[in-house]
Amino acid sequence: MSSPEEFVMADAEAALLAHEPDRVHTLERLSAELRTAQQDEFGRDEFTKIFASALRVLELEPGYVAKLFKVSRPTVSRWTRGESAPHPLGRGPVFKLFERETARRLRLLGC
């Protein structure tokens, strides 16, 4: 039996394939941004910008992201709005995980 997360991901994958050329370009830009973010030190504002962009581009639900990072949904909301952010040492791993998901989706598109 499939879990609700698998259904959410299956729907996202179907949507991903529906707009392939634009989607590839958007995912490639996000991938480059995430790779840079893993290497650079940056403040909360920059974290918020990249985090919110990754959620939007990857079409991830806040509840799923909360489970992924073992934080509460309100924490994900605060990160998205820029009211808080993980400790600077924890920001790179957040972006690394998003980068892996971006790479997975690009592979689905044959890139």
Tokens of 26: 């958007």
What is the predicted pLDDT for the residue at 98? 94
**How far is the C-alpha of 40 from the C-alpha of 30, rounded, in Å?**
15
Q: Which domain holds residue 55?
A: 4-108
Model pTM score: 0.76
- What is the sign, positive or negative, of the torsion defined by CA atoms of 64, 68, 70, 76? negative
pLDDT value at residue 41: 78
d(C-alpha 75, C-alpha 86), whole Å: 9
Block means of pLDDT (10 residues each) for the chain, 111 residues, are 46 56 88 86 89 94 94 96 93 92 91 79
User: How many separate domains does the chain show?
Assistant: 1
